[in-house]
Amino acid sequence: NKLIQEFTKHDQREYDDQRALEIHTAKDFIFSMLGMVQKLDQKLPVANEYLLLSGGVREGVVDIDLDELNVYARGTDYDMDFTLLVPALKLHDRNQPVTLDMRHSALCHSWLSLRLFDEGTISKWKDCCTIVDHINGATNYFFSPTKVADWFYDSISIVLSEIQKKPQRGMPKVEKVEKNGTIISIILGVGSSRMLYDIVPVVSFKGWPAVAQSWLMENHFWDGKITEEEVISGFYLVPACSYKGKKDNEWRLSFARSEVQLKKCISSSLMQAYQACKAIIIKLLSRPKAISPYHLRSMMLWACDRLPANYLAQEDYAAHFLLGLIDDLQHCLVNKMCPNYFIPQCNMLEHLSEETVMLHARKLSSVRSDPAEHLRTAIEHVKAANRLTLELQRRGSTTSIPSPQSDGGDTNQPDDRLAKKLQQLVTENPGKSISVFINPDDVTRPHFRIDDKFF
Contact 180, 156 (CB under 8 A): no
* Reported confidence tier of residue 50, pLDDT bands at 50, 70, 90: very high
Separation between Cα atoms, residue 370 and residue 125, nearest integer Å: 54
pLDDT of residue 303: 97
- What number is the average pLDDT over the span 119-123? 88
Separation between Cα atoms, residue 5 and residue 305, nearest integer Å: 25
The 3-class secondary structure across the chain, one letter per residue, is CHHHHHHHHHHCCCCCHHHHHHHHHHHHHHHHHHHHHHHHHCCCCCCCCCEEEECCHHHCCCCCCCCCCCCCCECCCECEEEEEEEEEEEECCCCCCECCECCCCCCCEEECEHHHCCHHHHHHHHHHEEEEECCCCCEEEEECHHHHHHHHHHHHHHHHHHHHHCCCCCCCEEEEEEEECCEEEEEEEECCEEEEEEEEEEEEEECCEHHHHHHHHCCCCCECCECHHHHCCEEEEECCCCCCCCCCCCEEEECHHHHHHHHCCCCHHHHHHHHHHHHHHHHHCCCCCCCCHHHHHHHHHHHHHHCCHHHHCCCCCHHHHHHHHHHHHHHHHHHCCCECCCCCCCECCCCCCHHHHHHHHHHHHHHHHCHHHHHHHHHHHHHHHHHHHHHHHHHCCCCCCCCCCCCCCCCCCCCCHHHHHHHHHHHHCCCCCEEEEECCCCCCCEEEEECCEEC
- What number is the average pLDDT over the span 167-191? 92
- What number is the average pLDDT over the span 198-210? 93
Separation between Cα atoms, residue 235 and residue 87, nearest integer Å: 11
Task: State the pTM of this model.
Answer: 0.84
Quote the distance between the C-alpha of residue 348 and its chain's center: 19
Domain ranges (residues) in the chain: 11-265, 266-395
pLDDT of residue 132: 83
Separation between Cα atoms, residue 219 and residue 232, nearest integer Å: 15
**Higher pLDDT among residues 70 and 283, named by residue:** 70
By C-alpha distance, which of 8, 52, 64, 59 is closest to 27? Answer: 52
Residue 428 reports pLDDT greater than 70: no
* Reported confidence tier of residue 97, pLDDT bands at 50, 70, 90: low
Quote the distance between the C-alpha of residue 406 and its chain's center: 31
Residue 162 reports pLDDT greater than 60: yes
- Which residue type does 358 have? M
The 3-class secondary structure across 147-176, one letter per residue, is HHHHHHHHHHHHHHHHHHHCCCCCCCEEEE
Cβ count near 169 (within 10 Å):
11
pLDDT of residue 166: 84
Separation between Cα atoms, residue 274 and residue 420, nearest integer Å: 35
Residue 140 reports pLDDT greater than 50: yes
Residue 20 reports pLDDT greater than 80: yes
Q: What percent of the chain has pLDDT over 90?
A: 61
- Which residue type does 249 have? N
Contact 208, 97 (CB under 8 A): yes
Cβ count near 296 (within 10 Å):
23
Question: 11-265, which class in CATH?
Answer: alpha beta
Residue 244 reports pLDDT greater than 60: yes
pLDDT of residue 120: 87
pLDDT of residue 448: 58
Q: At what angle do helices 268-284 and 293-306 cross, to 10 degrees?
A: 150
Separation between Cα atoms, residue 202 and residue 181, nearest integer Å: 14
pLDDT of residue 391: 85
Separation between Cα atoms, residue 129 and residue 122, nearest integer Å: 9
Residues 6+ away with beta carbon under 8 Å from 352: 290, 336
The CATH number of domain 266-395, selected from 1.10.3720.10, 3.10.180.10, 3.40.50.2300, 1.10.1410.40? 1.10.1410.40
Question: Between the CA atoms of 9, 13, 15 and 20, what dihedral angle is there, to the nearest 10 degrees?
Answer: -150
Separation between Cα atoms, residue 171 and residue 188, nearest integer Å: 10
| Residue-averaged pLDDT of the chain | 85
Residue 345 reports pLDDT greater than 50: yes
- What number is the average pLDDT over the span 252-270? 95
